[in-house]
Amino acid sequence: MNVYLDSVGCRLNQAEIDRYAAELTAQGHTITQQIECADLVVINTCAVTAAAAADSRARIRRAARNPNARIVVTGCWSEIEADAARRFPGVAQVVPNAEKDRLVGRLRPFISGAALSSAPICPAPVHAHGRTRFFLKVQDGCDNFCSFCVTRLARGKARSVPVEPILREIRGIEDAGGKEVVLTGVNLGAWGLDFEPKRTLTDLLCAILRETSVPRIRLSSLENWNLDLDFVSLWEDDRLLPHFHLPLQSGSPSVLRRMVRRTKPEGFLRLIEAARRVRGDFSITTDIIVGFPGETEEAFNETLRFAAAAAFSGGHVFPFSPRPGTAAAKLPEPVANEVKKERSARLRAQLDAQKDAFSRAQLGARRRILWEHGAIRAEGGYQNRGLTDNYLAVAKTSETALTNRISEERILALQDGVLLA
């Protein structure tokens, strides 16, 4: 049976989709990249912003254009809007977030051929999306109360995957030739805090470094308040890649208080400075919400100044969109849409300039690069694309395809936002 897998939103959603791909492939089914050829479509939705929710609905409508496909929907948007998801033509099942790790077992009524296990997914590491990096879910849920966030409502309380299953999956990735593992979670920095006795993300990383030999270990999004300054000392081991994605959300103390964020700008900056003392080439990217209720022009300027002081090497800018069921949806002093749009453009321009400056600082340096799948044969050789250890896109033309190789290369130029080696 041909199965098309689609995901909207975060790295965690992608990690879950990768697990489904592995389980289905192991049971004899084909993961197709063409939705019109699919017998079954699985869509992992997102609700973090109004745009993500709209994108999720659009993906379902697109899938419904294939009259022969059964559609299974899961994820945060369908968790919050389950009745709306069920009303879409072609939707055969809506799987709650609490059942996501057993989703493949729930596909039994819709899949012919090999029998499906209802056991929790524990995949062999295969890739359906042409990447050489493997996203690994180690944590789910969140116990914070950020006033804007609907993900906590959709994903539930924080819960961590124990160490041993994580190590088994990483060893499986190694056995399959995987070179990079990306640890993901809703609140990754809170890994282990739900255990008794409590454990920390430091404990997990030490176990991975000690018990596995995967060459590259990367972390997805982290909240700075879960981490102490000693945490960054682990990055003296160069298997840990020098890139943090730290969601700032605002550089204004007053806006952070309205967001119920457990941080202050100065604490955020201390972690960044500590990371760069350990590795001067550390890349720090971020997420920022613009136009949060009550954000004045001066509060926005505080964010601009903080982004410059932090020397972010890129980031995502989200105009505030009230999410149903969140405290922020009821806050007074809304910011006009045209003001959000103008501020978003200013902040994106600044972050783009900062990314360009960080990229240019790499010129002449030697960086370790993991080359991705999909090298293209062209005149003069193969056109290869990959990522540096500090998370910058890089391209290189070579006589042979470099897929899934790690090589140390001198950075020669920057062209259209991509480093050339």
- What pLDDT, on a 0 to 100 scale, did the predictor assign at position 375? 79
Cβ neighbors of 201 (< 8 A, separation 6 or more) are 188, 189, 190, 191, 192, 226, 227, 231
Residue 97, judged by CB atoms within 10 A of its CB (0-12, 13-18, 19+), counts as buried
CA angle 362, 365, 366 (to 5 degrees): 120
pLDDT at 65 over 50: yes
Residue 95's pLDDT band, with cuts at 50, 70 and 90, is very high
How much is the average pLDDT of 69-79?
96
- What pLDDT, on a 0 to 100 scale, did the predictor assign at position 119? 38
- What pLDDT, on a 0 to 100 scale, did the predictor assign at position 127? 47
- DSSP assignment of 100-166: GGGHHHHTGGG--SS----SPP------SSS-SEEEEE-EE------TT-SHHHHH-S-EE--HHHH
Kind of pairing between the strands at 70-75 and 40-45: parallel
How much is the average pLDDT of 52-71?
96
* Percent of the chain surpassing pLDDT 70: 95
DSSP 3: E
**Domain 133-360 in CATH 3.30.457.10:** no
- What pLDDT, on a 0 to 100 scale, did the predictor assign at position 120? 39
pLDDT at 42 over 80: yes
What is the C-alpha to C-alpha distance for residues 310 and 285, in angstroms, rounded to an integer? 10
3-state secondary structure of 377: strand
pLDDT at 374 over 90: no
pLDDT at 126 over 50: no
pLDDT at 112 over 90: no
How much is the average pLDDT of 394-419?
96
pLDDT at 128 over 90: no
Helix axes 297-310, 265-278, angle to 10 degrees: 10
- What pLDDT, on a 0 to 100 scale, did the predictor assign at position 379? 81
Residue 115's pLDDT band, with cuts at 50, 70 and 90, is very low
How much is the average pLDDT of 164-176?
94
- What pLDDT, on a 0 to 100 scale, did the predictor assign at position 368? 97
Residue 180's pLDDT band, with cuts at 50, 70 and 90, is very high
pLDDT in tens, 260-302: 999 999 999 999 999 999 999 999 999 999 999 999 999 999 9
What is the C-alpha to C-alpha distance for residues 338 and 318, in angstroms, rounded to an integer? 14
- What pLDDT, on a 0 to 100 scale, did the predictor assign at position 116? 44
DSSP 296: -
> By C-alpha distance, which of 150, 179, 219, 180 is closest to 9?
150
DSSP 83: H
pLDDT at 153 over 60: yes
Is-contact 244 219, C-beta < 8 A? yes
What is the C-alpha to C-alpha distance for residues 133 and 278, in angstroms, rounded to an integer? 25
* Percent of the chain surpassing pLDDT 90: 86
Residue 52's pLDDT band, with cuts at 50, 70 and 90, is very high
Residue 114's pLDDT band, with cuts at 50, 70 and 90, is very low
- What pLDDT, on a 0 to 100 scale, did the predictor assign at position 130? 52
3-state secondary structure of 6: strand
Question: What pTM did the predictor assign?
Answer: 0.90
Q: Same CATH fold, 133-360 and 2-110?
A: no
The pair of structure tokens assigned to 52 is 């993500």
- What pLDDT, on a 0 to 100 scale, did the predictor assign at position 373? 75
**Domain 2-110 in CATH 3.40.50.12160:** yes
Q: How far is CA 26 from the centre of its chain?
A: 25
> By C-alpha distance, which of 94, 53, 59, 55 is closest to 77?
53
pLDDT in tens, 246-264: 999 999 999 999 999 999 9
Cβ neighbors of 168 (< 8 A, separation 6 or more) are 122
Instruction: Give the count of beta carbons closer than 10 Å to the beta carbon of residue 6.
Output: 20
Is-contact 302 252, C-beta < 8 A? yes
- What pLDDT, on a 0 to 100 scale, did the predictor assign at position 123? 39
Residue 26's pLDDT band, with cuts at 50, 70 and 90, is confident
> By C-alpha distance, which of 326, 259, 412, 366 is closest to 53?
326
Which residue's entry shows tokens 């029998």?
A: 115
pLDDT at 57 over 60: yes
What is the C-alpha to C-alpha distance for residues 8 and 103, in angstroms, rounded to an integer? 17
Is-contact 190 142, C-beta < 8 A? yes
The pair of structure tokens assigned to 257 is 């208080």
Where along the chain do its domains lie?
2-110, 133-360, 366-420
pLDDT at 230 over 70: yes
- To the nearest whole number, what is the mean pLDDT of the chain? 93
Residue 131's pLDDT band, with cuts at 50, 70 and 90, is low
Is-contact 75 43, C-beta < 8 A? yes
- DSSP assignment of 173-226: HHHTT--EEEEE-TTGGGTTTTSSS---HHHHHHHHHHH---SEEEE----GGG
How much is the average pLDDT of 81-90?
96
How much is the average pLDDT of 162-173?
96
- What pLDDT, on a 0 to 100 scale, did the predictor assign at position 117? 41
What is the C-alpha to C-alpha distance for residues 142 and 38, in angstroms, rounded to an integer? 34
pLDDT in tens, 309-353: 999 999 999 999 999 999 999 999 999 999 999 999 999 999 999
